[in-house]
């Protein structure tokens, strides 16, 4: 399977969905921070209102290409599914479109001497490319998101050597864990990891530590402790063990509903319960990841379901 060859690739509704101001997010190498800095409240809201962006995919993630198309500017696009992001939209994985330039064919793992994987546990880290893959841009440094998985070649006390679509490189040892040594799947670990992202600005369809939406945040936190959740809140609601609202405990996922366009109540939000009447969540467009009390808030009125995945 081809793999993502940029820090974070946006998964778009269609090749026509991106606006002129989204060009930095379509580049290879991607100019993610430049793109985010240029988005104001209104242009961020449009991503959500018009469902322009549907998800994000992290560096080196395998995807399956279903078809190709060319947009009006001559840019080649690929319609893909992402097997690591399960969704009711497609049994093969989350579907969407991304620029073909943000993909690369896989390297030969046997030839490369891959001995396992590492997972980024720092909020962000940096990949230093030492031996670029033939035909790829010679970007010598690449910012990587929390939960990026890379194929491991060797480990030293200070660095981990990896192979990726850009070639061979290394990461700081203290920013990753070996994939075969998972973190404890408990509420304390989820809380500790989640608090790293307090203050991070919400991004519709965000699934990286450059910006999360509500379901992207919990999807990533649970993946960090070895629990695979579906990508979207509605699908997440169908997983886990149902728990009575009053029986909730730290580590549970809380779901919230409000009237949709038709007036019917729909589940449109999810957050991580920390215990002690406290919710950690990515609230809404133009807000930031926060901890807050449930009591006395509109969230207490909208709480409709609890799901348990721990224990």
Q: Which residues contact 177 (CB under 8 A, 6 or more apart)?
A: 118, 119, 121, 183
Q: Say what angle helices 214-224 and 187-195 make with each other, to 10 degrees.
A: 130
Answer yes or no: is pLDDT of 238 > 60.
yes
- 187-308: in CATH 3.90.1720.10: yes
Which of 296-303's residues contact partners 24+ apart within 8 Å by CB, and which partners? 299/256, 299/269, 299/271, 302/256, 302/257, 302/258, 302/269, 303/245, 303/254, 303/255, 303/256
- pLDDT computed for residue 131 by the predictor: 81
Model confidence band, residue 202 (pLDDT cutoffs 50, 70, 90): very high
Q: What is the mean pLDDT of the chain?
A: 94
Q: Which of 214, 298, 304, 309 is catalytic?
A: 214
Task: State the CB neighbour count (10 A cutoff) for residue 53.
Answer: 24
Model confidence band, residue 112 (pLDDT cutoffs 50, 70, 90): low
* 251 and 223 Cβ atoms separated by less than 8 Å: no
Residue 173's nearest CA partner among 126, 230, 225 is 126
Average pLDDT for residues 264-269, to the nearest whole number?
Answer: 88
Q: For residue 259, what is the enclosing H or E element?
A: strand 253-259
- pLDDT computed for residue 256 by the predictor: 97
Query: Start-end ranges of CATH 2.30.30.40 in the chain?
Result: 109-178
Q: Which of 50-59, 105-114, 136-145, 221-230 has the lowest mean pLDDT?
A: 105-114
Model confidence band, residue 109 (pLDDT cutoffs 50, 70, 90): low
Average pLDDT for residues 24-32, to the nearest whole number?
Answer: 96
Question: What distances in angstroms separate CA 224 from CA 83, 114, 191, 248, one per listed residue?
Answer: 17, 22, 12, 22
- For the segment(s) 109-178, the CATH number from 3.40.50.300, 3.40.640.10, 2.30.30.40, 2.30.130.30 is 2.30.30.40
Alpha-carbon 241 to chain mean position:
23
CA distance 7 to 32: 8
Average pLDDT for residues 148-176, to the nearest whole number?
Answer: 95
Task: State the CB neighbour count (10 A cutoff) for residue 262.
Answer: 7
* 223 and 211 Cβ atoms separated by less than 8 Å: no
- pLDDT computed for residue 12 by the predictor: 98
Query: Start-end ranges of CATH 3.90.1720.10 in the chain?
Result: 187-308
CA distance 28 to 17: 18
Higher pLDDT, 105 or 251: 251
Average pLDDT for residues 292-297, to the nearest whole number?
Answer: 96
Answer yes or no: is pLDDT of 137 > 80.
no
HSE at residue 28, side-chain half, CA atoms within 13 A, is: 21
**Two tokens at 83?**
């097997």
Q: Which residues contact 17 (CB under 8 A, 6 or more apart)?
A: 50, 52, 53, 97
Residue 207's nearest CA partner among 1, 2, 3, 9 is 9
* 189 and 183 Cβ atoms separated by less than 8 Å: yes
Lookup result for tokens 């950690």: 280
Answer yes or no: is pLDDT of 227 > 90.
yes
Residue 82's nearest CA partner among 186, 219, 227, 190 is 219
CA distance 107 to 5: 12
% of the chain with per-residue pLDDT over 70: 96
Q: Which of 78, 219, 281, 309 is catalytic?
A: 281
Answer yes or no: is pLDDT of 243 > 90.
yes
- pLDDT computed for residue 259 by the predictor: 83
pTM of the model: 0.94
Q: Which of 78, 219, 269, 309 is catalytic?
A: 269
DSSP string, 186-203: SHHHHHHHHHTTTTPBP-
DSSP string, 64-116: EEEEEEE-TTS-EEEEEEETTS-BTTBTTSEEEEEEGGGEEPPP-HHHHT--E
Average pLDDT for residues 81-96, to the nearest whole number?
Answer: 98
CA distance 43 to 270: 23
Average pLDDT for residues 71-84, to the nearest whole number?
Answer: 96
- pLDDT computed for residue 179 by the predictor: 95
* Active-site residue, 309 included: no
% of the chain with per-residue pLDDT over 90: 86
């Amino acid at each position: 399977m081809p793999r993502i060859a940029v820090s974070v690739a946006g998964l778009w509704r269609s090749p026509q969905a991106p606006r002129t101001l989204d060009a930095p997010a379509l580049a290879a190498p991607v100019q993610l921070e430049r793109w985010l800095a240029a988005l104001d409240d209104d242009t961020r809201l449009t991503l959500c209102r018009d469902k322009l962006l549907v998800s994000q995919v992290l560096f080196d993630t395998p995807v399956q290409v279903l078809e190709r198309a060319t947009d009006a500017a001559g840019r080649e696009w690929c319609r893909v599914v992402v097997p690591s992001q399960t969704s009711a939209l497609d049994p093969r994985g989350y579907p969407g479109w991304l620029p073909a330039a943000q993909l690369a064919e896989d390297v030969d793992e046997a030839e490369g001497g891959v001995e396992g994987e590492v997972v980024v546990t720092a909020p962000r880290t940096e990949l230093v490319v030492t031996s670029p893959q033939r035909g790829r841009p010679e970007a010598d440094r690449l910012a990587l998101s929390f939960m990026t998985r890379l194929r491991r070649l060797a480990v030293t006390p200070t660095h981990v050597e990896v192979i990726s679509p850009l070639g061979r490189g290394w990461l700081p040892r203290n920013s990753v864990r070996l994939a075969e040594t998972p973190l404890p799947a408990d509420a304390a670990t989820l809380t500790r990891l989640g608090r790293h992202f307090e203050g991070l600005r919400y991004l519709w369809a965000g699934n990286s530590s450059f910006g999360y939406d509500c379901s992207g945040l919990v999807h990533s936190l649970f993946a960090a402790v070895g629990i695979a959740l579906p990508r979207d809140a509605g699908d997440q609601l169908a997983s886990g063990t149902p728990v009575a609202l009053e029986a909730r405990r730290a580590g549970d996922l809380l779901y919230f509903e409000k009237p949709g366009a038709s007036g019917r109540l729909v589940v449109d939000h999810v957050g991580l319960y920390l215990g002690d009447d406290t919710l950690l969540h990515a609230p809404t467009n133009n807000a930031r990841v926060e901890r807050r009390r449930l009591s006395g808030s509109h969230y207490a009125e909208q709480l409709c379901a609890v799901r348990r995945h721990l224990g």
